[in-house]
Chain A
Amino acid sequence: MYRIRFHGRGGQGMKTASRILGTAFFLEGYEVQDAPRYGAERRGAPIFAYVRADRAPINERGIIRHPDLVIVADDSLVPIPAAGVLAGITDHSLMLINSAEKEQVWKQRLNHSGSILTLPVAADVTERAELPYVGAACAGAAARLIGVISEAALEQAINDELSDLGADIVNKNLHNAVAAYRAMASHAGLVKEGSLVSAVDYEAPDWIDLPFDDARISAPTIHAAATSVLVKTGLWRTQRPVIDFDHCKGCWWICSSYCPDGAINVVDAKPVIDYDHCKGCMVCVAQCPSHAIEAIPEKQAKADEDAMRLEIGEIT
């Protein structure tokens, strides 16, 4: 059985990637299981999706504990424990990371004795929010690394999964996926099917008898005010709303009232966006009647910010 895990952020097309790969396997005559896994659904939050494929009906279910292939669409997730990118990785696991950094860097950083590859199309995909194209590229690369999926099956899978989105989007995805598929030619078939667990020689679970804790400890209650302030949900943002004060009429209330996260405050008759907590939903951009709020790709905004800080000597 093949066991594949895709890691990314909500909005980057990981579910789509798993579906493209699942459908491609299915078209090649495999039994398939594919599924996304996320918590409360939010753009930018870590999610993963997985695919199992086998010639026989599949009885395994749920999260993949020991993947044969892990694809990371967003390298900023690797160091986040909650994202679980490294969970259950063994020497057998191949990692494919969408990253501008070299494979050797990742190998040393993760001290991973198995194979690590980076996705060469990463450079083309400069914009994280350039949806599901990253996902399609990941699926294309995975298909080739697995080695049992033809280019035709991959193309058919993309057509099947994305046809509702129109010819333009299908073509862009096809382009990226096929490029990634071809880029992995020299590694075709590098992914090997993992083995089955043995009932003879297995690691026994470290079961315990759960002790009684009184309700002062065991009730699921933590009372604290303003806890949401502590969670920097601004990290989820892929687009940044930026106010153009030349056009802002200082109306006092529209953008700040519509902001579903209360991340816009009005200070001295001017709206101020709290970028630590703005998730980049762009509701303010849509609502501002004077079109004074612009949506800027987060990466570009960060780069501009760094350039500015460099210029004023804040950083060197």
Chain B
Amino acid sequence: MKRTLLTGNGAAAWAARLAAVDYIPAFPITPQTEIIETLADWIDTGEITGRLVTMESEHSMVTAAGSAAATGVRVFSATSSQGLLYAMEMLYTVSGWRAPFVLANVSRGLSAPITLEPDHNDILAARDSGFLQIHCASCQEVLDSTLMAYRLAEDERIRLPVIVNLDGFYLSFTREPVEIPDADAARQFVGSFDAENIRFRASAPESQAVAVLGGGPYSYFRYETHLAAINGAAVYDEIAEEFSRRFGRKHDAVEAYRADDADYLFVMMGSFASKAREAVDRLREDGWAIGLLRPRLLRPLPVVHLQKLLAKRKAVAVIDQNISMGMGGILHSELASVLYGRNDAPTVLASFIGGLGGRDISTEEFFEMAQSIRQAVETGQTPAPRLLYTQTELREVRKLQAIAQVERQQLGAIDD
């Protein structure tokens, strides 16, 4: 075991290395490229074996990943944002094949307008694809979760691909101290991939994906995939327990930070949640009974854990770093669904949207959200969903719009 400074991208590459992956189909995209560059370097210098192939697109990359997994070898791949969406057709297809592999997604906001910085609309677009999802908040978690993801994907009760999500910039390019497990210890934990009946062979061509006519068989296959994903919740708990025993780090399906006695909770996913931890610490110093819940596992949604952890709280602020156009925060909707009809559900479940396109969330804004939900308890009025957005930011946008307006007028004058 070695403790060293690694970026999130470096941690993802290390995990693929420790999992002794056989095949890595690749296609570059900022801010992910460093993962495949690192693996390519190691293959080049002979530090790892395995085959890395650069494909002509993410669509082909995920096809290759699924196909290779269907031959029974261990596969790793990585993408981000537009790349994940470009592969969307194949995400649904390969999960339907029930061929397990691990895909790292480095979150980045979606176009248009185009950006490089993170939010979760890319990964959440894959929410219903049949891939399981683990969301990370530190570089250490990226490494550990990727190792755990192989166990989850390859478990006979599941057999589905898994996406490990890390935020662009905030994790991808940020170095933090990371413990790299010894190769042997990691190998023992991950185990070898017993592909059993997954034995697609080029030398013995046969049909992999079958067509079905009629809703009966189709529903069967789709619902079986759902049941396998649901199994993931209990299996994840087992794997997290074993990981903790072996490596001393516990990655619960839902992180509960200073939540035991908390009347108030923040709920959010990803690396921005560590900012919420900071705010919780400061608010606790001021006497607040407040904590943080952070779902690591988003698919399957750890429903039982969430119901238990949210029960009997006074108020909850759900902070979504994503937006479903025409509805709002996705995690907020999911939690409302988890809590509906339960007598012990918190009466206030407030929705905040923040961090879109990497927009920072300040500690002061967390304080303000805490004030807002406390006030909601006092008045009995849940606040309307709020975008974390300031007058100053709008003023900046108005300036840019004024410039654009002048530009349009000038161009109009040219046209005349």
State the A residues within 8 Å of B (CB).
19, 22-23, 26, 31-37, 39-41, 58-63, 65, 196-200, 202-210, 217, 220, 222-224
Contact = CB atoms under 8 A, between A and B. Distances in A.
B170 A62 contact: yes
A59 B274 contact: yes
A130 to B, nearest CB: 25
Interface residues of B, number: 48
Given A35-B173, A62-B170, 8 more contacts: A35-B175, A61-B275, A197-B363, A198-B286, A199-B367, A202-B364, A204-B368, A208-B394
Contact of A208 (B279, B285, B364, B389): B389
- Scoring B5, B282, B365 by chain A CB atoms within 10 A of each residue's CB, the highest score goes to B5
Which of B177, B288, B358 lies at the interface centre, i.e. has the most chain A CB atoms within 10 A of its CB?
B177
Contact of A34 (B5, B360, B387, B390): B5
Contact of A59 (B116, B281, B285): B281
Contact of B174 (A34, A200, A217, A223): A34
A62 B362 CA distance: 10
A222 B286 contact: no
B364 A197 contact: yes
A197 B394 contact: no
Contacts of A35: 7, 169, 173-175
Nearest to B176: A33
Contacts of A61: 170, 174, 271-272, 274-275
A207 B389 contact: yes
Nearest to B257: A59
A19 B176 CA distance: 11
Given A35-B169, A202-B367, A210 B177 contact: no
Residues of A contacting B: mostly: loop
B338 to A, nearest CB: 26
B381 interface: no
Contacts of B408: 222
B113 interface: yes
Interface string B278-302: 1101110110100000000000000
A259 to B, nearest CB: 24
Contact of B407 (A33, A220, A224): A224
Nearest to B359: A62
Contact of B386 (A23, A58, A207): A207
B401 interface: yes
A26, A41, A205, A206: most-surrounded residue (chain B CB, <10 A):
A205
B282 to A, nearest CB: 4
Nearest to B392: A206
B404 interface: yes
Contacts of B197: none
A22 B113 CA distance: 34
B277 A59 contact: yes
B204 interface: no
Contact of A205 (B174, B176, B271, B364): B364
A59 B294 CA distance: 14
B40 to A, nearest CB: 15
Contact of B275 (A59, A199, A210): A59
Given A199-B282, A200-B286, A205 B365 contact: yes
18 contacts: A31-B177, A32-B5, A32-B175, A34-B174, A34-B175, A40-B116, A41-B30, A59-B274, A62-B170, A62-B358, A197-B367, A198-B282, A199-B282, A205-B365, A207-B368, A207-B386, A208-B390, A222-B407
Nearest to B284: A199
B203 interface: no
A19 B175 contact: yes
Contacts of B389: 207-208, 210
Nearest to A41: B30
Contacts of B177: 26, 31-32
Contacts of A62: 169-170, 275, 358, 360
A27 to B, nearest CB: 10
A220 B365 CA distance: 27
B209 interface: no
In the complex, the 10 A-B pairs of residues with the closest C-beta atoms, listed nearest first? A35-B174, A59-B278, A220-B113, A199-B286, A206-B391, A199-B282, A59-B277, A197-B363, A59-B274, A199-B283
Contact of A220 (B112, B116, B358, B386): B112
A265 to B, nearest CB: 23
A176 to B, nearest CB: 22
Interface in B372-386: 386
A19 B278 CA distance: 24
Nearest to B401: A217
A126 to B, nearest CB: 31
Contacts of A209: 386
B388 interface: yes
Contacts of A32: 5, 175-177
Contact of B364 (A31, A204, A217, A224): A204
Nearest to B386: A207
A222 B173 contact: no
A60 B175 contact: no
Contact of B173 (A26, A36, A59): A36
Nearest to A209: B386
A225 to B, nearest CB: 8
B411 interface: yes
Contacts of A58: 176
B137 to A, nearest CB: 9
Given A202-B367, A222-B407, A23 B169 contact: no
A207 B277 contact: no
B180 to A, nearest CB: 14
Given A59-B281, A198-B282, A33 B174 contact: yes
A39 B362 CA distance: 21
A61 B173 CA distance: 12
Nearest to B4: A26
Contacts of B404: 222
Interface in B391-416: 391-392, 394, 401, 404, 407-408, 411
Contacts of A222: 404, 407-408
Nearest to A197: B363
Contact of B175 (A22, A37, A40, A63): A22
